[in-house]
Structures are given as structure tokens and as C-alpha cells.
Amino acid sequence: MPSLKLLNGVKLDGKTVLIYLFTAIVSFLVRGAVVYGCYNYIVPKLVASRANSKNNIYNNFRSISYSDSLVLVILVSSLLKCN
């Protein structure tokens, strides 16, 4: 199996590269799920605390989709330069 040589001279075999890639993808998907769940759980409560009428809260609130949460993860990660 061919190996990959990094800039610092470390050689990685194909299996190690696949493990790193799989870990990065799973981490990205889990972060998206956390953002999705937290946003849709917390934001209605924040809107409710600032709203004048309790009945009008959910008419103005739009929950985000899972793909929106993934875009938000990419945005925050790139702004904070996180992996």
C-alpha cells in the first residue's frame, strides 16, 4: 500500500490516513448534530424571554435544518481557525 509523506517528513500509510479522514468526518457530523439540537432547543426559549406575547413566539421562530447547522459549523470553525 502506498504511503503519504507529510511536510515534516513523517510517513503515513493508507490505513492511518483513512482513520484520520473517518475521524474528521464523524467529528464534523457530531458537531453539526450538537449545533442543530442546541439551536432548536435554546433559541425558542431566548425568543420567548424577549417576546411580549407568548402566543406569538413560535410564529416568528424558524428552526434550522441539519444542513444549516453544518454550514454554521463550517463558518464558526473557519472564523476561529479550529479543526
Domain count, the chain: 1
**Cα–Cα separations (whole angstroms), residue 50 to 22, 58, 61, 73:** 42, 13, 12, 26
pLDDT on residue 55? 59
pLDDT mean over 60-74: 88
Q: Above 70 in pLDDT, residue 53? A: no
pLDDT on residue 49? 72
Contact between residue 3 and residue 12 where contact means Cβ atoms under 8 Å apart: yes
45 or 23, higher pLDDT:
23
pLDDT mean over 8-35: 85
pLDDT on residue 68? 93
Residue 8's domain comprises 3-80
pLDDT category at 31 given cuts 50, 70, 90 is: very high
